[in-house]
Amino acid sequence: MPKDDGSPPRRQASTISSSSSSGSGGVLSENNGLVGLRNIGNTCFMNSVTQCLSNTRCLLEYLVRDGYSSDINTTISTMRGDLIRAFASLLSDMWNEGADSSRALNTGPFKAQLQRFAPVFSGYQQHDAQEFLRKLLEGLHEDVNRVTAKPKPITEDIDDDLDDNQKAMESWKRYLRYDDSKIVDMFVGQLKSSLQCSVCGHCSVTFDPFWDLSLPIPSKSGQVRISQCLDLFTKEEVLDGDERPTCSKCKERRKMTKSFSIQKFPKVLVLHLKRFSPLERWRGKLSCTVEFPLEGLTLSKYASNSSTSPLYNLIGVANHSGTTYSGHYTAYCKHPYSGSWHEYNDSRVSNISTGRICSPEAYVLFYEISSSSSKL
């Protein structure tokens, strides 16, 4: 990946000329946040994700308005708050109205804390942006986890006589016994997995939390729609031969069908487009264009419960250009207060037209639930 070229960020003023869209002394306003980040040695993967999170309004306001301070977990957190403090400090610098727009910010202090939490990110090798995002959110969550003492494990299974919604609620309650934070409130949803026996017809369901959805791409090149990726992700799969699971009713290994649906939708939905395969590095990168909407992404087709009709609006895209073995990350982000789109390329920040946002380089998509969506 290219090193930082040292050029200063181009800080663009918003075309909307009103007062601050939020409080916090005008720091969180439509004229701020347009600051580049230095590439300190193959750290473009970190810079692109940081810019996407910086433009995620609920997370930004939680960190920059200092709402997180009283939530810091000092008992079972690995970092005792050091990681979230470092990330909040970086975001505060990015949004500080007194920031010097003639230079890009140094991410070194944040990276130092990140690699304490996740040593895999030590040094200056290139890393996958989605893997970085998962680890960062895990660390931020841990630092403000409301669970301050490890609870006693629940050994009994969830009552099979409960209906699916009751099972989902009980499963979610059990998850929150260990992991419960503002970060979870924002980013975590719940998947429903259904296994149906081909012999007795019994359907067993399980519910699992997710921080993002990794979507397969149905074509190596050309053009596909995000709905086709979601269709493939939720498509019924036949498990037979060596893959046959044991039916909980038959008590025998049976041919079964497996399918996914979304039980609980998160406030911030992260969609990861599987352009790389860790098991098939030789196949290269899938370079097709996945078309996705900037506004009004509807997922009702994939919902477990037909009464939910969530709509999502795009707020950020982490892009990857290049090949499987080398490349460069950038970000396209929608400003949370002005609504204008910008490209973040390490040190450089520039305006971008909405027509350029959907490209063959889109890798991780950040969607925010629309306020007009039905309450979930």
| Residue of 127, 141, 320, 328 with catalytic role | 328
Cβ–Cβ < 8 Å for 64, 27: yes
Which of 313, 321, 277, 308 shows the shortest CA–CA distance to 292? Answer: 313
Residues in contact with 64: Cβ distance below 8 Å, sequence separation at least 6, in sequence order = 24, 27, 28, 88, 91, 92, 95
> Tokens 């304490």 — which residue?
116
Q: Is 203 a catalytic residue?
A: no
- What single letter denotes the amino acid at residue 246? T
Whether 44 is catalytic is yes
Buried b (16+ CB within 10 A) or exposed e, 121-136: beeeebbbbbebbbbb
Place of tokens 């998509």: 365
Find, among 319, 312, 305, 304, the residue nearest to 358 by Cα: 319
SS3 of residue 182 by DSSP: helix
Long-range contacts (CB closer than 8 Å, 24 or more residues apart) made by 321-329: 321/361, 322/1, 323/284, 323/285, 324/276, 324/281, 324/284, 324/285, 326/1, 326/126, 327/1, 327/126, 328/1, 328/2, 328/44, 329/1, 329/44, 329/45, 329/47, 329/48, 329/49, 329/129, 329/363
Active site residues: 44, 328
